[in-house]
Structure 1
Amino acid sequence: MSAEFIVSFEDKNWYATHLEALTQKITRLGTFSASFEENEFRLIGTEPRSPGDWSYDVRLFLEKERIFVEISAHPKSIERDLSVLFEWIRSCTRIAIKDEDGESSGW
């Protein structure tokens, strides 16, 4: 079962005007594995995997005004890269990361 989070931006204009920089930041993460269409990005942990494991641990969907995050597994490499990504965003603008119930996620 996966965990789902919403990253919302206090300044909606920042997200719209920095979408390319955000995309580049995601694709430069050590756990980045693939992108699908133009708005779905997949991350996979760098730790050893079992043959039956999913082909990704996280999916990031860059939606019109927010980022939808689906986390299927969170090995250390995934936790590190998501922390790096969220810290970078926070260094640029204010965000809120909430779970599917609207509660602050702690990320």
Structure 2
Amino acid sequence: MSNSEVFGSPMILTGQRPVSPFGAVPFAPQRNTVPARLFRFLASLLRQALTSDESPRRIRKTAVALSRLDDRTLRDIGLNRASIISAAHEAELRRSSRSGRART
């Protein structure tokens, strides 16, 4: 009598990929067919089209966070209340240039 007859198969079939109770199976077949690649490509295009630019939201969050600071703290970091919005815009510009995205 073998172990598989006593304990059953060590592989658990979940959906399309067999999963081992001991970790991921490195030899599991990948879905790399032309229709699957085309679907992933079209899904990424749709995701990019539907994802809005988040920079205005980040600018607002930065401005709100800076406006919550007291005057002394703002003065310590070299800002005053009148320069909060421009500082938030500059921070977003630096962030987008670091990430390699071109600003329009």
Q: TM-score range by the shorter chain?
A: under 0.3
TM-score, length basis structure 2: 0.28
Query: Which is greater in Rg?
Result: 2
Higher fraction of helix: 2
**Normalised by the size of structure 1, how large is the TM-score?**
0.27
